[in-house]
Structure 1
């Protein structure tokens, strides 16, 4: 798809976010075609310094963390503590459809960039706020971090191995899920604006997002009062469903009904297990989980991962290998999908990023811009706003 065909082409996003949740949201909006202007302080987004690892190039080095969530954006460096920087920020917002910010609640209000102030002069503006704990409640003013939200939202209490210590998910899932949720809220607000002609304020916070992420675990607790405990890679209500060890690695399987159980046993030459009355129904397999696990542990070590996968796939039993990332990006299906994209970069020469995660009309969305260097587009954006790096160059509609 060419840029004019992208779903959000023609929309501008004033991106006042940093680190992960907000940048992931604005990256997704950029993937969909929006013109995302990433407003950075003179020192740049904090994650530019988060490393190692860094990717090295003849023109410098860049943090792999920053590169992972900042494709399809332009970078504008502004000092919001200065009158000149605030004037440019207001001019940018006046030309934008969407503002996204993840400062502590009240920070932008103190700068005169709060929702009530801006919406009065720009009623079509969609104002998206991301925080640790939301805009109301006793924790409103606390700083929010992924690991804190994972713990306070209960996720760590039911993640991990039985009897083990609470375990954080290995990716910043509170940040990532919150970023996806605020993106959905922005898209819904855009649709609403088409009907009403007015923008809206939307907000998402890390704690609520982690609680929502709990889905069936939370539902189980609310329905029964039972506090979920960690069960490792197993499923609480389906057996066998999880990770099995074979001779040279691990395979995940999903035996979601009794017919699949019979095919599973036949495929792996386990007739006695298939005939065992304790295991013929899923309820029985859940009840006798430990006994079944012991049987499978001994039975499957005679298979290599390749052989186990071949047998299960032939029998139509859902399964997949447990890959490390080297195996993921060597997978022929992942390569055929073009998940990794190499793009030109001003300091590195080139860098490789993941592709946007959607297709429209059977076509993948392009990586139009590599993650920007600090202030790479400052002069370009200021010129579009009728400003120069030295100061304002005349009024713009809606700007002070």
Structure 2
């Protein structure tokens, strides 16, 4: 039996943070119904990186496995009535509308709680439901920039470099997933539903608990360096260094050890704890100079055999071929009715008694509309009428 088998989730979210959280609930066995407009969620049609599929783009596939799709027009009274009936059968309701939109649509927490008092209602926003920034666009790079994190690395005078993936969306998704599980556990104990509010700003701030505390508790300001250093609050050497043929990641190496391995006697007198922070510039400069003299494979052998923490710098193709990644089965592959073989990142944790699996590919828009409405007790004649009146959309059976 799956951990969340018997739990129904209504996923009205779009983009990444909400759908990613809902997918994690689906992977644990919840019946996640993705409620989409008649045209489908916009992410179906947005080609991230130019990766256009036959009918469904890569971003959507990566965030919506193990879900069913109900395509319904919530601007129609009958469509909204259908959603409200579904709420009566649901355990979790998840949305990431901008603050105020859910209330205007009639799907805010207070409205739905009146129908179903034990509902777990998860609301994800960019900056919070209220406050001076509540109506700002909660887009990942904007929140990375605001979070303070970007001034913990790089060189003074140079523009900060953001993370090359949707870091804030991911942290917000995990926070929403965690909050939903906690609220479900509370409900199991007490019978009470509740509102779970997650915002992307708080999520990325909380993720920096150590770094921000160094400033707030220790009083140490962020100071960027002229030479390679990946984190202003970690002693040198620490970062991605050029080699003769590529790059090498280096972390927490003892200067005295490097003095021998790199044949750099100027490092010998430096102590890691005493000098690793105050002499960051000098240490990083000397290490960078020496590492350029040989290939990455050479340094991985020399440093690795001596127990120095170092590693390769991969692109995605390298990652897919790595033996540990293959051993871990970090990716999952499944067949999709329109996109063929799909390979995406898999599950971040394993359960021995109830392992996760891809039981459903990411759904076509409205693929399960009929199934969901029949679950509610609507007969075929009513479903056909709703289709003709553009209240719902149902994917034709011939599509897959």
Mapped contact 2:224–2:232 kept (Cα < 8 A): no
Cα distance change on mapping 1:93 and 1:391 into 2, 3 Å: farther
Q: Distance in 2 between matches of 1:271 and 1:164?
A: 29
Q: Distance in 2 between matches of 1:272 and 1:168?
A: 35
* Unaligned ranges ≥5, structure 2: 387-400
> May I ask how many residue pairs the two structures share in their alignment?
379
In structure 1, the residue matched to 2:390 is none
Q: Could you state the TM-score of these two structures normalised by the residue count of structure 2?
A: 0.88
1:354 aligns with 2:348: no
In structure 2, the residue matched to 1:398 is none
In structure 2, the residue matched to 1:47 is 43
> What are the within-5 Å matches in structure 2 for residues 222-301 of structure 1?
222-223=216-217, 227-230=221-224, 232-255=229-252, 260-266=254-260, 268-270=261-263, 272-273=265-266, 276-277=268-269, 279-301=270-292
Cα distance change on mapping 1:152 and 1:299 into 2, 3 Å: closer
Q: Distance in 2 between matches of 1:159 and 1:242?
A: 9
Q: Distance in 2 between matches of 1:166 and 1:300?
A: 24
In structure 2, the residue matched to 1:214 is 208
Q: Secondary structure at the match of 2:342?
A: strand
Q: CA deviation at 1:21?
A: 0.8
Q: CA deviation at 1:9?
A: 1.5
Q: CA deviation at 1:126?
A: 0.3
Mapped contact 1:245–1:297 kept (Cα < 8 A): yes
Mapped contact 1:160–1:230 kept (Cα < 8 A): yes
In structure 2, the residue matched to 1:376 is 367
Cα distance change on mapping 1:81 and 1:261 into 2, 3 Å: same
In structure 2, the residue matched to 1:25 is 21
Q: CA deviation at 1:20?
A: 0.7
Q: Which moved more, 1:335-344 or 1:18-27?
A: 335-344
Q: Distance in 1 between matches of 2:285 and 2:193?
A: 58
User: For residues 306-362 of structure 1, what are the alpha-carbon distances to aligned partners after superposition, in whole Å with 9 as ceiling and x for unaligned?
Assistant: 121122222222221110111000111111222222211111222222212111128
1:37 aligns with 2:33: yes
Cα distance change on mapping 1:112 and 1:39 into 2, 3 Å: same
> What are the within-5 Å matches in structure 2 for residues 1-400 of structure 1?
5-51=1-47, 53-56=50-53, 60-223=54-217, 227-230=221-224, 232-255=229-252, 260-266=254-260, 268-270=261-263, 272-273=265-266, 276-277=268-269, 279-361=270-352, 365-387=356-378, 388-390=382-384
Mapped contact 2:152–2:230 kept (Cα < 8 A): no
Mapped contact 1:124–1:199 kept (Cα < 8 A): yes
Q: Could you state the TM-score of these two structures normalised by the residue count of structure 1?
A: 0.88
Q: Distance in 1 between matches of 2:234 and 2:317?
A: 32
In structure 1, the residue matched to 2:397 is none
Q: CA deviation at 1:118?
A: 1.5
Q: Secondary structure at the match of 1:286?
A: coil
Q: Which moved more, 1:130-139 or 1:23-32?
A: 130-139
Q: CA deviation at 1:74?
A: 1.1
* Unaligned ranges ≥5, structure 1: 393-400
Q: CA deviation at 1:189?
A: 0.7
Q: CA deviation at 1:55?
A: 4.5
Q: Distance in 1 between matches of 2:292 and 2:353?
A: 42
Q: Distance in 2 between matches of 1:381 and 1:289?
A: 60
Q: Distance in 2 between matches of 1:356 and 1:296?
A: 37
Q: Secondary structure at the match of 1:370?
A: coil
